[in-house]
Amino acid sequence: MPQITLTLPDGSEKSFESGITGLDIAKSISEGLARKAIAVKLGEKILDLNRPLTADGAFRIITPSNEDLDALFVLRHSCAHVLAEAVCSLFPGTKLAYGPPVEDGFYYDLASPEPITHADFERIEKKMAEIIKEDRPFTRVEVSLEEALKRTEGDKYKRDNVERAVARGDSIFSFYVTGTVGAAPRGCPCDAAISPYDATPSWEDLCAGPHVPSTGKLKAFKVLSLAGAYWHGDQNSDQLTRVYGTCYADKAGLDAYLKFLEEAKKRDHRRIGQEMDLYHLEDHSPGMVFWHPHGTVLVNVLRDFVRKEITKRGYKEVITPEIVDKSLWVRSGHADKYDANMFKTLAGEREMAVKPMNCPCHIEIFNQGLKSWRDLPLRLSEFGKCHRNEPAGTMHGLMRVRGFVQDDAHIFCTEEQIASEVSDFCTLVKDLYKVFGFEKITVKFSTRPETRVGSDELWDKAEQALEEATKLAGLEYNLNPGEGAFYGPKLEFVLKDSLGRDWQCGTIQVDFNMPARLGAEYVGKDNQKHTPVMLHRAALGSLERFIGILTEEYAGDFPFWLAPMQVRVLPVSEKFSEYAEKVRKELVEADIRAEIDNSNEKVGYKIRQGELAKVPYLLVVGEKEVAANTVSVRKRKEGDLGQKSLEEFLGCVHTHIG
């Protein structure tokens, strides 16, 4: 018999007969392990416990765990199938499209004959619990293309999945059946089928797998939410219902996640943004932010903070047009990749495009006048407004918008300067994030994508230069193969917030391609013309998105220096408004952002409103305060701090202005 060699988790190697299953190996170790096992991993591929193993490679047995991403992948994929069966049972005639596991859970896109609402969650979960209690086996059935077409006849979405698989070169197709299977499972994926050999109901779905051995392995699940989705993400295609859920190895893991969701809900930047009157979004301008006065203050404070920090580091700020002839984007290479996401307009008969990024415009500035090696590195920064026609279903508050401002910059340098410039940027990112309390930062090194511009020789040079820069910066990173920009490799800086969520914000990319495409040159020490290297970089990324992240990180309780409104003066009654205005003016002259609540409400109500608006300090002024030329100070979350002279108060707050 042919043999395979498996490398076990302890590093040892062991030979087995080809065709042995993971379950057989688990049983050879212990019956307890065999009962716990839900799948195996061979190399980088996760396989069903009963799949024959026919290749050498690293091997491990997967058991349920909330810390093992592979285990969660299998559990969630299987739970998505159970959800699909439950929905099909409750809503006969439902057509299934696609149901993958995703980070923190799973979803299933489907078309149901009647709308599914949140009110249906309880009965969907009840039906799922019934299926799980029956502990039905997941059985993989491999069929030919002819049989796959027969099984998906009349099912638009599954038939399309088969045809797409054929286009990828697949010739064997798999269906997963839950329940007892006779010679072959039968029935539409949305109908219960009865095996001719057993009375146990079975149900099938076209799927590549893997799955747990049986439904009883699913111990803790929850249906979470609904959303709209388009088939293949195409807005011109069918609109589907996306049902989200999650699954964990045990109840403790599920409970912890549900608690996390509750906390995240309290911190939702969309709700807090409305309570604090920061911004709003309109249906007639989807994905474009309407910043209110307090929100505009927040944008400007953040922008001024970054501007101050990068100016100290030698950046020169520029402003470039928002609408540029489309030919520039063709020459830069952006049109090939971003054409569908670019907003276009006409100036007479001239086709123009609203800029989706700033880089070609910065090269246009570089190209004005002859540059020398003495001018390099040249660091051009811009808080440039960009627009991208993101799909409607992907937009989410401030986190994904169509119009945004980046703290963008492009560094034109020589090859010898790449390492030091990238290293300096890494320091800048860490320094900026630390101010906001983000000290847990991970870095991804993204290498050449499949679709790219430029020769392999240039890409080799760019990736090697970026690697050398990480060594100079003392930077540890995780490799992210194939995820670089179309013009160069990049480093992505991922911060972790107080809820443990990851946010990719900063990025720097090494580009040997675009400057040459747009004719950028400088005169070197040898008096010859050379093409500069271009480093694309953003520290915070989109200011809109970063403000969304900060809003959720602080739950709206921004640090004093960043708070949109730092002080609100509360006159006890109208007759103290003149004194309140005097206090406000003195605060403004001292560079404190202050306003007055002159509403015709009692002071208790004004205090509650100030707390809801998350104003750091409330200054109550009434008869006693006027007489003593003082203010009564209330600090958010600390309450009454007593009467203080304005000088005392200013001395206190100026100690924590960043």
- Nearest C-alpha neighbor of 218 from the set 135, 101, 122, 341: 135
Does the annotation count 81 as an active-site position?
A: no
CA 542, 543, 545, 546: dihedral to nearest 10 degrees?
110
Question: HEC profile for 571-599?
Answer: ECCHHHHHHHHHHHHHHHHCCCCEEECCC
Identify the active-site residue in 51, 151, 211, 388.
Answer: 388
Angle between helix 577-589 and 646-653 (nearest 10): 40
Identify the active-site residue in 406, 417, 509, 566.
Answer: 406
Q: Say if residues 630 and 646 touch (Cβ distance below 8 Å).
A: yes
Does the annotation count 219 as an active-site position?
A: no
Identify the active-site residue in 359, 361, 386, 413.
Answer: 359
* Rounded-to-integer distance, Cα 631 and Cα 584, Å: 11
Radius of gyration of the chain (CA): 30
Residues 6+ apart with CB under 8 A from 146: none
Does the annotation count 490 as an active-site position?
A: yes
Cα-based distances in Å from 308 to 245, 281, 317, 408? 45, 30, 11, 14
- Nearest C-alpha neighbor of 181 from the set 122, 139, 143, 235: 139
Is the link from the previous residue into 377 a cis peptide, with omega within 30 of 0?
A: yes
- Nearest C-alpha neighbor of 508 from the set 422, 418, 439: 422
- Nearest C-alpha neighbor of 257 from the set 75, 379, 479, 115: 75
Does the annotation count 140 as an active-site position?
A: no
DSSP letter assigned to residue 532: P
* Rounded-to-integer distance, Cα 243 and Cα 216, Å: 22
Does the annotation count 386 as an active-site position?
A: no
CA 613, 615, 621, 622: dihedral to nearest 10 degrees?
30
- Placement of tokens 């991993």 in the chain: 41
* Rounded-to-integer distance, Cα 383 and Cα 317, Å: 8
* Rounded-to-integer distance, Cα 80 and Cα 87, Å: 11
The sign of the dihedral angle between the CA atoms of 28, 29, 34, 35 is: positive
- Placement of tokens 């990319």 in the chain: 509
301 sits in which H/E element: helix 293-311
* Rounded-to-integer distance, Cα 102 and Cα 430, Å: 30
Identify the active-site residue in 326, 410, 448, 537.
Answer: 410
Identify the active-site residue in 408, 424, 497, 597.
Answer: 408
Q: Say if residues 334 and 452 touch (Cβ distance below 8 Å).
A: no
Q: Say if residues 380 and 315 touch (Cβ distance below 8 Å).
A: yes
Identify the active-site residue in 81, 536, 537, 634.
Answer: 536
Identify the active-site residue in 81, 334, 402, 490.
Answer: 490
* Rounded-to-integer distance, Cα 50 and Cα 35, Å: 13
DSSP letter assigned to residue 337: H
- Placement of tokens 């830069």 in the chain: 332
The amino acid at 177: V
Could you tell me the maximum CA-CA distance found in the chain, to the nearest angstrom?
Answer: 100
- Coil, strand, or helix at residue 68? coil
Does the annotation count 509 as an active-site position?
A: no
Q: Token pair for residue 435?
A: 């101010």
How do beta strands 239-248 and 279-281 pair? unpaired
Cα-based distances in Å from 600 to 4, 166, 254, 573, 575? 83, 71, 48, 8, 11
> Strand 45-47's sheet: what is its strand order?
13-17, 3-7, 57-62, 39-42, 45-47
Does the annotation count 269 as an active-site position?
A: no
Residues annotated as part of the active site: 359, 388, 406, 408, 410, 490, 536
